[in-house]
Structure 1
């Protein structure tokens, strides 16, 4: 713990009064701060839809310039993170209502605070993530007599020995699987079937169309069809503005170089300066723009896209589909939400680009 004296760059305020925790994360673990901030932001602005008081509290405790995330993330992508939490909460609450003593494990937990939102006072909860992230998590969210942290990769089968499944097991995985290939995800589900027959798991899945090179803009499928040019142009403009802010203020030089180096387009920007990037971008075809934005989406593309949960039954016949539904199903298109958020919700669900899968093994 330390006194926050650095503040934000570009004119941010410096706080000499409040004790905050300085954390340094990069790469995939950094996305945990993005999802944490998303939940806090939506909780403060749209509490009638979603309320994560613990996320708001954590954002206040962490010495990090969250305003960079505000500027570098389009509103609709931040809302999508909160929407995923809303849907997982509903599934966990429904399950523990029928199985009040069950053990629940959150895979790739990051700074997720679901335990505080769904706890019935009886369940046993486990949060699993990489050691460097769990080390920070335990300082911000100390373990309790019913909540335990496991500092391991979900691909390390030894975690199976660290949990008590006497009263059954329910699992959530959020957006974890998008960072891994089908082979790894397939092996993980076979492990579950071997070790925990009868357990259930809920997670987010992106469709193959989410990463298609179709002239839209981004691995989340942010865009509209050519027969809807006004909506498509508006969404693309907002996404690009957020990306510009991220490029100028959020991405370190080494990450910019890495992202440029990983481009699969026929040409690349002359340098990592935004002006050069923008000149290069304007010269790309619609197809290449789609390919570039897939390459640039946090440096990742979805490694295990799925159109339908039934595809998983081919991996292993012990997998049974309980349910699947669009990400924003049942979430009101509240007038307080921005137009771009409501458009994104409709577009994503209409095209089936992001879904929640619930399966039993």
Structure 2
């Protein structure tokens, strides 16, 4: 969801999954210049808040895993909730991974070295991902960039792990979270 120019399929394909990439028509047009659809890779042009994409995905059997990276917090909160509701209502038992931006990140976005140069703006803040459970979600895991899973951290160089410990105290690092939910 909101595929952009992400290479997740190339990195995670297990040789059997059916993968769908969804993004707005102009973004999908650009994406098609670099990637091609295939028997197991669908490329859908549309909005995550338009249910038109649902039938293409439902045509393939479960299990379902949805990823919306750097997408939902750009939408108005009601639209983000509606996109989650589409997954909840049409794909029971699915897992959904998406990031949230806390208040420190949203408030500081215009001073961020990269974000200040974009026209896009974060539309809502979420400091506590459990607050989204009334959307029909159940939080499975939530991590900041500074606190990766133990197995991931163990593979990092010692100096990088030390830097992450320091970064954990930075308000913006703690405000950006990667979350795994079940519906």
Shorter-chain TM-score range: 0.7 to 0.9
Residue aligning to 1:302: 122
Matching of residues 165-176 of structure 1 within 5 Å: 165-176=60-71
Report deviation, 1:165: 3.9
Q: Following the alignment from structure 2 to structure 1, what is the Cα–Cα distance between the partners of residues 55 and 98? A: 22
1:359 aligns with 2:178: no
Report deviation, 1:136: 2.4
Q: Following the alignment from structure 1 to structure 2, what is the Cα–Cα distance between the partners of residues 333 and 353? A: 24
Report deviation, 1:160: 0.3
Report deviation, 1:350: 8.4
Matching of residues 209-288 of structure 1 within 5 Å: 209-212=104-107, 218-219=108-109, 239=113
Residue aligning to 1:180: 75
Alignment deviations for residues 13-43 of structure 1 (CA, whole Å, 9 cap, x no partner):
xxxxxxxxxxxxxxxxxxxxxxxxxxxxxxx
The size of the alignment, in residue pairs, is 176
Alignment deviations for residues 222-260 of structure 1 (CA, whole Å, 9 cap, x no partner):
5xxxxxxxxxxxxxxxx4xxx7xxxxxxxxxxxxxxxxx
Q: Following the alignment from structure 1 to structure 2, what is the Cα–Cα distance between the partners of residues 321 and 128? A: 23
- Classify 1:319/1:118 alpha carbon distance in 2 versus 1 (closer, same or farther; 3 Å): same
| Alignment check: 8 A CA contact 2:147 2:168 kept | no
Alignment root-mean-square deviation, CA: 2.9
User: Comparing both structures, which one devotes a greater share of its residues to helix?
Assistant: 1
- TM-score, length-scaled by structure 1: 0.44
Residue aligning to 1:313: 133
1:197 aligns with 2:19: no
- Classify 1:350/1:142 alpha carbon distance in 2 versus 1 (closer, same or farther; 3 Å): closer
Q: Any gaps of 5 or more consecutive residues in structure 2?
A: none
Largest Rg, 1 or 2? 1
- Classify 1:137/1:197 alpha carbon distance in 2 versus 1 (closer, same or farther; 3 Å): same
User: Comparing both structures, which one devotes a greater share of its residues to strand?
Assistant: 2
Q: Following the alignment from structure 2 to structure 1, what is the Cα–Cα distance between the partners of residues 147 and 133? A: 24
- Classify 1:171/1:311 alpha carbon distance in 2 versus 1 (closer, same or farther; 3 Å): same
Q: Any gaps of 5 or more consecutive residues in structure 1?
A: 1-106, 213-217, 223-238, 244-293
Instruction: Say which structure, 1 or 2, has more relative contact order (CA 8 Å, 6+ apart).
Output: 2
Residue aligning to 1:328: 146
